[in-house]
Structure 1
């Protein structure tokens, strides 16, 4: 199927994998995701203040999660670049919004990690203020991918982020990361909990995606879901 055109109904493409009713629909969506992420992806802007954002011109998807959740590794795995997003060994280091242009069809926004235990109260408050202003005032932001670490329980900061997104009326979708590093019984519980969290928030997307940047598990599905939000080819 790779490289072969697969027709897909526009409603299915717009709805993503949750609207796929047949194996052909699913295959077409996966191919759309592959083709999108075969495009070049380049960093083009960084902002530390809300009044320094680039113009809001096309669809955007933001990556949000606790420090050390594997956000940069996931961005690199999606785009096929080993160092597109910097993987820091110091949690909480990133303090700015980083923007990446994916083939002129989609902008990826790497948001600063939250919940770093050693961060000062002022830094945490600055993060919440900047993030809320960005989320609430960005008309081109189609969805936030909220990352949860498969290995550990949901933290209060994760729940606060969901409340923040809901209050800002920004749709979010939970993506479980580092699935390869969790015991199967624990991973099953984590997925069930994530699905319940998504259902309990009006802004939550019902489909939880499970990924591993190390093995590539779930990456094609996440690409397909993101392709449904991109500017048409």
Structure 2
């Protein structure tokens, strides 16, 4: 099913409260030896190069330039960590599948990402971003196989949905649901987002807030 508007008032309030607060850069890691100390629950964003990871992180946090964006695929080569109000860490992973990158570079990126995914004990969820204009590719299936194997919960999140027709989007979502239905680590709800129109941003905020160290009593403190 599609991520819908069935969230409770409390869930919506918590998400708005959390993502309205300060989000700051923590660290960047070029190797698994440079990862910052594990402290808060983490949610990571990954996908093919130029899928819109940085743009989505910026839209979620309401900051235009917090996560650096590039029109050049493969430009982001490090794992970037952001602290959201001391409640949760947002992690921007390097894009994968950029064919023009050297095999050596690709191997380094893959090893770095894999080590993070496999050994990061604070990682709670991966948002696996898919460009809605492209759909699932073979490399995305490879990544899902890895996530299933190491038992990391992940949600398929479509980006740039403002650029496709509604009927095409509905067909694509149905196809994706069919593919992930029996995958053990896949979350059964497909997210659909657009940083241009704002579609699905609040719904994804709600989903990610479930992993944060935040509770209803925090709202009463403001």
* TM-score of the two chains, using structure 1 as the length reference: 0.87
Q: How does 1:212-231 map to 2 (within 5 A)?
A: 212-231=194-213
Q: 1:187 aligns with which of 140, 153, 169?
A: 169
Map of 1:74 onto structure 2: 56
Map of 2:157 onto structure 1: 175
Q: What's the secondary structure of 2:17's corresponding residue?
A: helix
Q: How does 1:1-233 map to 2 (within 5 A)?
A: 26-232=8-214, 233=218
Within 1, Cα distance between the matches of 2:158 and 2:90? 18
Equivalent pair of 1:166/1:202 in contact (CA under 8 Å): yes
Please state how far the C-alpha of 1:114 moved relative to its aligned partner: 0.4
Q: What's the secondary structure of 1:212's corresponding residue?
A: coil
Equivalent pair of 1:132/1:168 in contact (CA under 8 Å): no
Equivalent pair of 1:105/1:231 in contact (CA under 8 Å): yes
Please state how far the C-alpha of 1:68 moved relative to its aligned partner: 0.8
Within 1, Cα distance between the matches of 2:101 and 2:183? 27
Within 1, Cα distance between the matches of 2:110 and 2:31? 12
Please state how far the C-alpha of 1:107 moved relative to its aligned partner: 0.2
Aligned length: 213
Please state how far the C-alpha of 1:31 moved relative to its aligned partner: 1.6
RMSD (CA atoms): 1.5
Q: What's the secondary structure of 2:8's corresponding residue?
A: helix
Within 2, Cα distance between the matches of 1:200 and 1:120? 34
Residues 27, 194 of structure 1: CA spacing in aligned structure 2 closer, same or farther, 3 A cutoff? farther
Please state how far the C-alpha of 1:198 moved relative to its aligned partner: 2.5
Equivalent pair of 1:60/1:107 in contact (CA under 8 Å): yes
Q: What's the secondary structure of 1:174's corresponding residue?
A: strand
Please state how far the C-alpha of 1:121 moved relative to its aligned partner: 1.8
Within 2, Cα distance between the matches of 1:201 and 1:88? 32
Within 2, Cα distance between the matches of 1:166 and 1:180? 30
* TM-score of the two chains, using structure 2 as the length reference: 0.92
Within 1, Cα distance between the matches of 2:106 and 2:179? 23
Within 1, Cα distance between the matches of 2:175 and 2:107? 27
